[in-house]
Amino acid sequence: MKSAPIHRPRSAAEHVLTDAELPCSRRREEADSAENRTIQSTALRRRLHFERAARRTRAGFTLAEVLAALAFMAIVIPVAVEGLRIANLAGQVGQRKAVAARVAERVLNEWIVTGQSQTARQSGTVQEGVVDYSWSIRTQPWNQDTMRLATVSVVYRTQGQEYDVNLSTLLDNSTR
């Protein structure tokens, strides 16, 4: 046989009041606290909005800062480019000067070894890579009777300018 559940009446402490049963002052307090929470959340949202806006304005550059940076770049970039151009020219001149010195040494050695030192003047052109090196040899008397000064001059062009390398040696007049 089944027994029916026993309902016992609740005590006053266990009784949960509905909104209708709440006293009027208590309902007002709860409404005020809900309104306060709404106001606080609105204030929080506004404060967060202003903080984000302040971060956005602080994160950018002012027009004056941008113009100052552009003016600085307008001065620095041409100077840097000119510096790079000069460095490039110096590098090319240095490399070609070394080649011209080798050409001058080779021409002078060949001129002496082949016995052409009797001629007072000779000239020619040597091509090394894509660059032409024009050379000329000239002799002149030295301040002592038995010596002559032989000078090889090698001329080359780099970036529209002419450069030259001179190599000299003393020759004994007795080998004439």
Specify the pLDDT at position 64.
94
Provide the pLDDT confidence category of residue 104 given band limits of 50, 70 and 90. Answer: very high
Provide the pLDDT confidence category of residue 139 given band limits of 50, 70 and 90. Answer: confident
Mean pLDDT of 78-102: 94
Query: What are the phi and psi torsion angles at 124 (to 5°)?
Result: 180, -175
Residue 19 pLDDT more than 60?
no
Question: Would you list the domain boundaries of the chain?
Answer: 19-60, 86-175
Which residue carries 């806006």 as its tokens? 53
Specify the pLDDT at position 135.
94
Residues with Cβ within 8 Å of residue 126, at least 6 apart in sequence: 103, 107, 132, 133, 135
Mean pLDDT of 145-157: 89
- CB count within 10 Å of CB 168 equals 13
Mean pLDDT of 121-140: 89
Residues with Cβ within 8 Å of residue 97, at least 6 apart in sequence: 163, 165
86-175 topology per CATH: Pantoate--beta-alanine Ligase; Chain: A,domain 2 (3.30.1300)
Residue 158 pLDDT more than 90?
no
Distance separating the N- and C-terminal Cα atoms of the chain:
151
Cβ pair 124, 106 in contact under 8 A: no
Nearest to 144 by CA among 173, 165, 106, 123: 173
Q: Which residue has the higher pLDDT, 133 or 5?
A: 133
Residue 26 pLDDT more than 80?
no
